[in-house]
Amino acid sequence: MGLDIPRLGLMVVLGQPKTAAEYIQATSRVGRDRNRPRLVVTLLNLHRARDRSHYERFATFHQTFYRSVEVTSVTPFSPRALDRGLAGALVALTRLGHVPLTPARGAGEILAERGRIDFVLDCLAERARNHAEMSPPEAESLGRRVRELAADLLDDWSRIADDYRNKGVQLQYGTEFANRFKSQEWPGRRLPEVFYDPRALDITEAKRASLHAKCVVVDGRRAFVSSANFTEAAHIARRLSNHFDALVEAGLLKRIPGL
């Protein structure tokens, strides 16, 4: 993830970064304004074997450097990973998977819907049990621990909602980013609609889909795809728009209400 600064037209890279991903992300920040000149200068050290290797195959590396992007290593369901990521995953699954809690002001509905969202606990526990090859006792132990942690988080959510209700305040999801995005960052008058693939929430692994795409179809002429590409090619924009509309009509993508 990087920052797009249109005025940034010159960058000097002193030495080859340790990872190809870092090199690509850093240098791709330059030259976003097509009406201004842009230049990236790479200075390599002859006495460093890695720098020298990149220099000797400089053209080939830059023509194919996406092949060199390193795989990110993680340890799923480790204590630290659960501390950092479980709450966000739980809220996202609950909000997307249970309509009463989906709207921006629906966070307080946890008090009325708590007994109907155990599917989230089942989903997280099942994912923990099957994320890697383990012995049955290990898998059951991990699934039980994840389920208990997730249940504790739902109980905390309920207690917070109850405290807010007793104070006469309605609990809602964070709005600071959304408000800033609407008022300061989004350039158009029509706000974007947010869709998701409901198959991504399926508790059955064989049916579960993984949707990873960052695409905003602006109109039939221009399309913004991912965080780095912008095209005015009308045929690409039309194809994206038509394909996206087809996914929505087929029910494969559903709009998140209230956003």
The predicted-structure confidence for 36-86, as pLDDT tens digits, reads as follows: 888 999 999 989 998 999 899 999 888 888 888 877 767 889 998 899 899
* 215 φ/ψ angles, rounded to the nearest 5 degrees: -145, 130
Q: What is the chain's mean pLDDT, rounded?
A: 82
Contact present, 29 and 4 (Cβ < 8 Å): yes
Q: Where are the alpha helices (DSSP H) in 105-228?
A: 110-113, 118-130, 136-166, 176-180
Give mean pLDDT, residues 226-242.
62
pLDDT at 52: 92
**CB burial of residue 110 (10 Å; 0-12, 13-18, 19+):** buried
Confidence of residue 211 (pLDDT cuts 50, 70, 90): low
pLDDT number for residue 229: 47
Q: How far is CA 114 from the centre of its chain?
A: 26
Structure tokens at 243: 């394909």
Residue from 117, 109, 127, 141 nearest 203 by CA:
127
Spell out the domain ranges in the chain. 10-68, 79-166, 192-255
The reported pLDDT for the residue numbered 181 is 75
pLDDT, position 164 = 92
Is the pLDDT confidence value at 1 over 50?
Answer: no
- Least-confidence region, from 56-60, 152-156, 212-216: 212-216
Q: 225 — phi, psi (to 5°)?
A: -120, 130
pLDDT at 205: 67
CA 251 – CA 254 distance, rounded (Å): 6
Strands (E) across the chain are located at 10-14, 39-43, 195-196, 215-217, 223-225, 229-231, 254-255
Mean pLDDT for the stretch of residues 115-135: 91
What type of residue sits at position 137? P
